[in-house]
Amino acid sequence: MARPDLADDLEKQYQMALKAGAEIILPLERISPNEFIPGLIKVKEGNPILEEEVFGPLGMVMLAKDDHEALKLANDVKFGLSNSVWTTDEKRQQYFIENLESGTVSINKSSSSDPRLPFGGAKSSGYGVELSLLALKEFVTVKTIVGN
């Protein structure tokens, strides 16, 4: 983590999720003021951690009975920085690509950014687009000048 206070925030989010009933799959372990061994928890709808944007090595898993329910669970949160979809079925991949309310959809890999590609969130995530030539639009204002 970049700073100890950000690591503190992650630890608080983790504890809050556990108090609300999250199940530990892999424990989040703090090994220094800024470092963790990554953790993984299983959460259910209504867990307050789903109302927060988590930045750090903590993964959350929710079970869904089908793709429709999985999409609903993913889109029912107010954030949408990135999602990761794991399936070799191309129709299922396309379904999630087209319907996830997210700035980035990664297929069969964890989410990451590439400086050649635009990176930005949807909904309450992020502050606009960064990286790539498309990000320049975030820093300019169009002005129309007319005259003779």
Shared-domain flag, residues 81 and 147: yes
pLDDT at 99 over 80: yes
CA 147 to chain centre: 47
**Cα–Cα distance between 143 and 134 in angstroms, integer?**
18
Paired with 56 in beta bridges are: none
Among residues 65, 111, 103, which one has the least CA distance to residue 86? 111
For the stretch 48-86, pLDDT in tens is 999 888 889 999 999 999 999 999 998 988 876 778 889
**Cα–Cα distance between 89 and 130 in angstroms, integer?**
31
Residue 64 structure tokens? 């869904």
**In this structure, are residues 130 and 108 in contact, taking their beta carbons and an 8 Å threshold?**
no
Shared-domain flag, residues 115 and 133: yes
* Dihedral in degrees, nearest 10, Cα atoms 23, 54, 40, 97: 110
pLDDT at 122: 62
Q: How confident is the model at residue 88 (pLDDT cuts 50, 70, 90)?
A: very high
pLDDT at 126: 62
What CATH number is associated with residue 91? 3.40.309.10
pLDDT at 141: 72
Average of per-residue pLDDT values in the chain: 86
Number of domains the chain is built from: 2
pTM, full prediction: 0.73
- Domain containing residue 43: 1-63
The phi-psi region of residue 132 (left if phi > 0; otherwise alpha if psi is between -120 and 50; otherwise beta) is: left
Shared-domain flag, residues 52 and 74: no
pLDDT at 49: 95
For the stretch 24-43, pLDDT in tens is 999 999 999 999 999 999 99
